[in-house]
A and B are shown apart, each in its own frame.
Chain A
């Protein structure tokens, strides 16, 4: 079965650079979530989109922005990167058939040097 795809899987950036993370949800899933997991920490919700509109916002820094496109893929844009942004970034998607279940991707590991 198709799963959530995230790209790139690994990304290394310098401080103050920008990064773009991409998420391709499971086909026919209409909701996308972004989570950040710092080293040794638990995942923290950043932002979500339902039918291409932002549906919820968590502890996402102002330096970050995200959107969901017409094909339902989503991108997380991160600017002025800081060392503390180094983390695993997970995307999850949810479909109409299983509203109570989020399907997570493998994550993008971002390292800021």
Chain B
């Protein structure tokens, strides 16, 4: 399975944008890039996903490099409630059964300062 690499931790100030990077140099052509986050004492929560094109939703934006070997999750205005562990996960779109499992790596602990 392709592996992702994220910084262990990042800090941001409230109401400022946050760019969370993820490297996935061995990504295959059928791998989707998913982002989940886990707030303290809660289950993981879906944030966004994409394949090749940049994606936007109400929570965040996902910028995918042209060669797909890296991606960046963008929180446009961080709030204190965004403090969480953010996971970048690759999911093989061809493996219908086993491909739907989420393989969590070591995510990025985001701290948001007031």
Determine if B45 is an interface residue (Cβ-Cβ < 8 Å): yes
Residues of A within 8 A of B100 (CB): 31, 33, 48, 55-56, 94, 99, 102
Does the CB pair A56–B98 fall under 8 Å? yes
Which residues on B sit within 8 Å (CB–CB) of A43? Answer: 38, 44, 102, 104
A42 to B98, CA, bound (A): 19
Q: Which of B49, B101, B106 has the most CB of A within 10 A?
A: B101
Contacting pair A100 B49 (CB below 8 A): yes
Task: Give the chain B neighbours of A55 by CB distance below 8 A.
Answer: 97-98, 100
Stretch at the interface among A11-19, A65-73, A75-83, A104-112: A104-112
A106 touches B101 (CB 8 A): no
Which partner residue on chain B sits nearest A98 by CB separation?
B46
Q: How many A-B residue pairs have CB under 8 A?
A: 58
Q: Which of B43, B102, B103, B104 contacts A106 (CB 8 A)?
A: B43
| Interface set, chain B 84-113, CB cutoff 8 A to A | 87, 91, 97-98, 100-107
Taking CB atoms, residues of chain B closer than 8 Å to A101 are 46, 49
B73 to chain A, nearest CB (A): 16
- The size class of the interface chain B forms with chain A is 20 to 34
Complex interface: chain A residues within 8 A of B49 (CB) = 100-101
* Contacting pair A104 B98 (CB below 8 A): no
Which residues of chain B come closer than 8 Å to A106, judged between CB atoms? 42-43
By a CB distance below 8 angstroms, the chain A residues around B42 are 104, 106-107
Q: Is the CB of A105 within 8 A of B43?
A: yes
Q: Can you offer 19 A-B residue contacts whose CB atoms are under 8 A? A: A33-B101, A35-B102, A42-B105, A42-B106, A42-B107, A45-B101, A45-B102, A55-B98, A56-B97, A56-B100, A56-B101, A90-B43, A90-B44, A92-B44, A100-B49, A101-B46, A102-B44, A102-B100, A104-B42
Residues of B within 8 A of A (CB): 32, 34, 38, 42-46, 49, 87, 91, 97-98, 100-107
19 other A-B residue contacts (CB within 8 Å) besides A4-B43, A90-B44: A33-B100, A33-B101, A35-B104, A42-B87, A42-B105, A42-B106, A45-B101, A48-B101, A56-B97, A56-B98, A56-B101, A58-B101, A90-B43, A99-B100, A102-B44, A102-B46, A102-B100, A102-B102, A107-B42
